[in-house]
Structure 1
Amino acid sequence: MSSVNLMAREVAAKIVFYGPGLSGKTTTLRKVYETVRPAHRGEMMSIATEGDRTLFFDFLPVKVERVGDCSVRLALYTVPGQVFYNATRKLVLQGADGVVFVADSQAEAMDANRESLANLEENLLENGIRLDRFPLVMQWNKRDLDNVLSVEELRRELNPRGVPDFESAATSGRGVMDTLKTITRLVIKDLRAKRIVPPPRPAPPPPGSAPAGLEAQLAQHLHHRQPPATTPPASTGSTAAAISATPVPRTLTAPAPPRVEPAAVPVVSANTGSKVLGPTSALAPGDLFDHARAAEAAFIAGDYTTCVTACTDAVRRAMAFAGEGSLAQQAFLLHVDGSDLLRLQGLSTLPQLRVDDAAFALYVLMQVFVRLNAVGLPTAG
């Protein structure tokens, strides 16, 4: 079953490579691992028998290109080929969003192919899924060997539904990535049809127009928080005086304010005129108090780029209290969500930042401050 992280705009989908023993499932997954850039893959795990057959499963999380404004993370599995491990097959197949059936193209393997395909259909039915309504791609493997059946024969015997199929030689990688790209497209199409993948975020409104949706609600909230303008009353007539004394709310469509530096813009109560703390600065340690105040002030001013920049810098400084080491090591020691940190770093590469991006940056900064307070960092002195 796929999962969606709405805050990170990320969809996780599970694809299972199914087929008879020694058909090339594990070799296919290894070739994917070698092909995908290291930054976009996780650790590959495999448990095999003495005969080099997959006993349990291979697992390879791979991050693929964005779909709309959502990134997609694939979890790739293989099942054991041997029939007597069918209980494990069922376990691995649970929650799958799509299947690649890896068939052995050799003539002597046709019976094993048929048996494995029938087993796939049976196991899916136990989960309430019909194979003809499920994302499926056929991979005709071992096309580099002699004594292989023609593609027409394989289609006639194993692909009467006419699902997409590809010839492959997993040892060399031929056809492997084409198969993966196609099953990924089918899975994403199926998730969209089920309304699992969130719709793309609407384009920003044209300059001068009123913001819509969540941004409009936040803008309205921020307007109400602004201190009233202190325009002196006019001296000509009561009507003119009333108009001139009316507070003019700030709008998010006004020209962008200048960049806010730490401690440059205090947060002021509209009622008392005294300085008050926002939730982020209230959690901040003394050394980072000014950075937190600057981030909050930029958010209130509608300068989302400055807000994200201030939050990113404050997070980097805050994580350093955990000691020397990489950001991942510091996050592990502080129990900070690594995916949130990666998302925050990625915001700096976006050409235009929105109010929800800035709100997310403040959320990450508060999360880091909470973890520092929980472990008593930074220490006094």
Structure 2
Amino acid sequence: MSSVNLMAREVAAKIVFYGPGLSGKTTTLRKIYETIRPAHRGEMMSIATEGDRTLFFDFLPVKVERVNDCSVRLALYTVPGQVFYNATRKLVLQGADGVVFVADSQPEALDSNRESLQNLEENLLEQGVRLDRFPLVMQWNKRDIEKTLPVEQLRAVLNTRGVPEYETAATSGQGVLDTLKSITRLVIKDLRAKRIVPSPRPTAPPVENPGAGLEARLSQHLPRPPSQTGLPAHPPSLMPRQNPPQAAAAHAPRLETPAPLATSVPAPAGQRAMGPASALAPGDLFDYARAAEAAFASGQYGTCVASCMDAVRRALAFAGEGTLAQQGFLLRTDGADLLKLQGLSKRVEALRVDDAAFALYFLMQVFTRLNDARLPETA
């Protein structure tokens, strides 16, 4: 399922290239990678084996058009084609927003094409998704080979649903981008129909209250340090003009302290209120979340980002052994957000409030993924 980063105004959608072994899935992604401008692509990762060139996945984040005022980022994956890697296929297919089925046009591959398409339908059904109601594009690959099946025959066997189809030669790139554009259009149309893409931001009038910005709104959800208690509600330069005692008394009811937000977790007497990150944190990571929230509330944004990065590393370790990217993939976290947090943690001296707020947002996303996966396991 796609994810929406409201703070960054970005929608991340996942597209999986599915098909039998050696049908051209990885070659297709490599050609997309070579064609797209460097500014619009991320790093391509691949794990190869002797039996199949892609054992786990290829991951290629590609930035495409804007929807409303949100940018759309596509995460492109491939699955292993070999049948005995079906468990990995299911894992990669989880949360997909669209599929490109890469069919081998050679006559001897017709049966394996049919079996792979049936396997795709079965794996989606396990997730409660019907293939005939899912964004799907057929890619007839290897059309540059002399002995290939007619498109009509491929269509009769594999495309009974009448979804968009394209003839391609992945080695030369012919038709590859047309296929990507087609599945992108279908995915974005589906996201709009499901109302996943947020509506455009309204044009805001000039801000009259300087305290109503991003930092102030986020601070309402986080514990305030003891040093801030008792401070006036406005900075000295913004303090209301002093009125005579009689007028001040008349206006006193308007200066009452507002009630705490319902999203904050009440704390026992003498303890700090629990923030949203610590409320989501597993017991083993609770102290790390509290430290990050305390750093944010005190304006130590670099410390907040560093604490979040430390907590994310420890949280992703519950997914098992592997690199940070592999652990994040297994927990279905946003790869682009993980890379962004890693970059921020390397320059903690010059960070701003929105950087720290993003770090807390991503930490909460990781905690949510842990809870969904029921990790860490308790004895």
Is TM more than 0.5 here? yes
Rounded to whole Å, the distance in 1 between the matches of 2:187 and 2:354 is 31
Q: How many residues align?
A: 247
* 2:375 counterpart residue number: none
Return the alpha-carbon distance in structure 2 between the equivalents of residues 284 and 126 of structure 1.
Answer: 46
Over the residues paired in the alignment, what is the CA RMSD in angstroms?
3.3
User: Conserved in 2, the CA contact under 8 Å of 1:336 and 1:367?
Assistant: no
1:21 Cα deviation from its structure 2 partner: 0.5
Aligned to 1:44: 44
- SS of the equivalent of 1:172 reads coil
The answer to whether structure 1 residue 131 and structure 2 residue 131 are counterparts is: yes
1:269 aligns with 2:259: no
Partner of 1:333: 346
Q: Which amino acid aligns with 2:60?
A: L
Secondary structure of the residue aligned to 2:152 is helix
Alpha-carbon separation, structure 1, partners of 2:125 and 2:102: 20
CA distance in 1: counterparts of 2:132 and 2:149, whole angstroms: 24
1:313-355 deviations in whole A, cap 9, x for unaligned?
xxxxxxxxxxxxxx99973324599xxx8xxxxxxxxxxxxxx
Alignment of 1:359-378 (within 5 A): 363-364=353-354
Provide the C-alpha distance between the structure 2 equivalents of 1:185 and 1:267, rounded to a whole number of angstroms: 52
By how many angstroms is 1:63 displaced? Answer: 1.0
Does the Cα contact within 8 Å between 1:98 and 1:135 map onto a contact in 2?
yes
1:1-381 matches, within 5 Å, as: 1-202=1-202, 204=203, 215=204, 219=207, 221=209, 267-272=237-242, 283=299, 331-334=344-347, 363-364=353-354
> Structure 1 residues 283, 113: CA separation in 2 closer, same or farther (over 3 Å shift)?
closer
Checking the alignment, whether the CA contact within 8 Å between 2:52 and 2:82 is kept in structure 1 is no
CA shift in 2, pair 1:366/1:20, >3 Å: closer
In structure 1, runs of 5+ residues without a counterpart are 205-214, 225-265, 274-279, 286-326, 342-361, 371-381
Match of 2:372 in 1: none
Greater Rg over alpha carbons, structure: 1
Aligned letter for 2:132? D
Residue 267 of structure 1 aligns to a residue whose secondary structure is helix
Cα distance in 1 for partners of 2:56, 2:145 equals 27
- How many angstroms does 1:165 deviate by? 0.5
After superposition, the Cα gap between the structure-2 partners of 1:330 and 1:170, relative to the gap in structure 1 and judged at 3 Å, is closer
Q: Which amino acid aligns with 2:170?
A: A
Shift of 1:163: 0.3
Q: Contact between 1:283 and 1:366, CA under 8 Å: does it hold in 2?
A: no
Q: Secondary structure of the residue that 1:77 maps to in structure 2?
A: strand
Distance 1:328 1:98, change over 3 A: closer
Instruction: Report the Cα offset of residue 364 of structure 1.
Output: 2.4
Q: Secondary structure at the match of 1:128?
A: coil
CA distance in 2, matches of 1:60, 1:284: 34
Q: What SS does structure 2 have at the residue aligned with 1:161? A: coil
Cα displacement string for residues 87-121 of structure 1 (whole angstroms, at most 9, x for unaligned residues): 11001000000000000011111000000000000
Aligned residue number for residue 258 of structure 2: none
* Whole-angstrom distance in 1 between the partners of 2:142 and 2:155: 15
1:41 deviates by 1.1
* Aligned residue type for 1:15: I
Q: Say which SS state the counterpart of residue 22 (structure 2) adopts.
A: coil
2:16 partner amino acid: V
CA apart distance, 1:268: 2.9
Contact 1:46–1:59 under 8 Å retained in 2: yes
- Residue 118 and residue 221 in structure 1: after superposition, are their counterparts in 2 closer, same or farther (change >3 A)? same
TM-score normalised according to structure 2 size? 0.59
- Contact 2:23–2:103 (Cα < 8 Å) also in 1: yes
AA aligned to 2:354 is V
Distance 1:16 1:330, change over 3 A: closer
CA contact (8 A) 2:23 2:102 kept: yes
Partner of 1:196, secondary structure, is: coil
- Distance in 1, matches of 2:7 and 2:154, equals 45
Sequence identity, in percent?
Answer: 73
Aligned partner of residue 26 in structure 1, secondary structure: helix
